[in-house]
Amino acid sequence: MYYRTLLEHSINSSSVTQPKSVLQYGYVPSEWASYIFLLLFGLSTFIHTIQASYFRLWFLLPTAVGCGFLQLIGWSARLWSSHDPFLKTPFTIQLKTLVVAPTLLLAANFILLGRVINRLGPQYSRLTPKLYAIIFLCFDVIALLVQAIGGSMATAAHTLKEEKLGTHITLGGVIFQLVSITLYSALATEFFIRYARDRPIRHGPGEDYRGKVDIPLKRMLYALVAMTVFIFLRTIYRTAQFADGAHGKITSTQWLFIVFDGAMITLAMVTLNIFHPGRLLETPQSEYSDYRLVVSNSIIPLIPP
């Protein structure tokens, strides 16, 4: 209550010309919103940990679970700021963690798309499943590092010029991530169009199999599309936010952050909880396995001992 009174006094006082820069956020972070997101991310992260262990999908630990862990740290810092919005430490913590956290979740999307392509037929894809993982995970790491460096520079800045430089670097990382999501979506769209029309890009041993889109796989595809849309909307918001500046209208409007950052990533994580690849994607296909076995047996005799 003391800080809310102090905030109102600062905004109404003519002696304070830049109350938003003093407050860092441009507002007092909502306490109730912090509690809600801590509850949601806590439950989702816990369930993801159990699911990843049960289905032995270990790549989900550094991706989905890692994202949830960083979200918990970030929203804990915002809860801290709701009681003292003038402290720099919680502001720095939430900025660094909440900016980079979705990058980890996006990596899970890249890996899952590669597995879907391997199930349906890699001959319809511009890139092989392995190349999808290598290329887009590298993009993800670059985006993460650039955003982390920019966020660190912005929060450690002593002058307005240094702060702007850090913000611009972070913006560059977010834009790079936006471009990578767009490229990923374009390649995925091409794959599904080619699969639907049965127009393969290449032919080769083990690449003539055409998998079937059963109900579990269809649900997994819908989930991947939904997750991509949620993360894409969040990235557009972050791009606009950093382009607007540290004390711009978008940055200083809390409901935009709650809806387009917190809610979007919550929906993406919960979607993966409900439509989990351990149930929908990892079920064995005997037809697919038998085909691979035949292809392998036809190739092995050609290799000299």
Query: Closest Cα partner for 216 from 303, 151, 282, 148?
Result: 282
Report pLDDT digits (tens) over 43-63: 999 999 999 999 999 999 999
Rounded percentage of the chain residues whose pLDDT exceeds 70: 83
pTM of the model: 0.82
The number of beta carbons lying within 10 Å of the beta carbon of residue 283 is 12
Collapsing DSSP to helix, strand or coil, 252 comes out as: coil
Q: How far apart are CA 190 and CA 215, in angstroms?
A: 21
Q: How far apart are CA 98 and CA 265, in angstroms?
A: 10
Say if CB 261 and CB 98 are below 8 A apart. Answer: yes
Q: What is the DSSP letter of 256?
A: H
Say if CB 151 and CB 96 are below 8 A apart. Answer: yes
Say if CB 291 and CB 264 are below 8 A apart. Answer: no
Whether the predicted pLDDT of 284 surpasses 70? no
Lowest model confidence (mean pLDDT) among 34-38, 155-159, 269-273, 294-298? 294-298
